[in-house]
Amino acid sequence: MPLKNVLQWSVARMSSIEAIRLWGAHTRRYKSRGTHILYASTIWRLKDFLPTQIKDVKLEHLERFLASVEGGAANSYNAHITALQSFGAWLSQHDLPNPTAKLKRIRTTHIPARVLIEKELNKLLTICNQRERDILQFLANTGLRADEFLRLTPQNVSPDGKFLYIIGKAKKPRSVPLNAVCREILTRHPKMNFSKNYKTLWYMCGSIAKRAGISHFSPHSMRHFFATRLIEKGVNLYQISKCLGHSETRTTEQIYLHWCQKDAVAGITDCLDE
């Protein structure tokens, strides 16, 4: 049997991790060092979303991974797709289906995730349809990451309906409290099938922003809104970090330092009025 056919047969029988290792050796030989590092970083994070056998990889596995990309910026999303397409092209060279063939980039300029102010959110809610309003309010009142939100099922809700049990980044479990707004939303969405995938969610945010006449925001912007509102309400950073799923309070401080500083000095000059 020709060597090429032996290799193709071998790849088809590999586990996902074994295939990633072989692909990594391939990119190390044929890509620049910088490109290899970027691609490898993406694909090694992808492994947590893949089935055991590489032959069973489907588009849905890649979409779940893309939903987990932090920040929500279009350029970040597209960079991850480039790495996935490199991996998919390599699979197709070994007579395996290319699960990346139907992935599409987001056609837009770089737009970093930003923090909405309450006035903007209220404006958005007035022009949304009911489904859009429910999605925005649920995100704004839970601080869920996009992939966490998209993976919700009724099993994530506690028996008393007051908490969500989430498995977040690095497979870390956490509990997220559900306020009255969220509990009401769940009565309208008992199956919790809010949105199909990250791309649909991202475009929904862009559509609403355009209709409201404000600058673009991403699903991750609602997570920022959630955290900054809790800071403004005086909730301590330890509790906020637990809700967000950060391993350390320091992570929360680094992301929201400017808000923490504003809160720390608020009102300290009032004594000069006396």
Q: What is the mean pLDDT of residues 62-86?
A: 78
Q: What is the pLDDT of residue 110?
A: 43
The residue ranges of every structural domain in the chain are: 3-93, 118-265
d(CA 96, CA 127): 46
Q: What is the mean pLDDT of residues 223-235?
A: 89
178 confidence band (pLDDT: 50, 70, 90):
very high
- Residue 151 vs residues 43, 65, 123, 167: alpha-carbon distances, Å: 21, 11, 28, 10
Joined tokens for residue 226: 């959630």
* pLDDT tens readout for residues 76-119: 778 888 899 999 999 988 888 898 888 887 765 444 457 788 89
Domain 118-265 has CATH 1.10.443.10: yes
| Distance (Å) of CA 239 to CA 74, 176, 231 | 30, 10, 10
Contact present, 28 and 43 (Cβ < 8 Å): no
* pTM check: above 0.85: no
Higher pLDDT, 43 or 197: 43
Lowest mean pLDDT, pick from 1-15, 48-62, 244-258: 1-15
pLDDT tens for 208-219 read 999 999 988 888
What secondary structure does DSSP assign to 153-170, as a single string? Answer: -GGGB-TTSSEEEEE-GG
> CA 187, CA 184: separation in Å to the nearest integer?
5
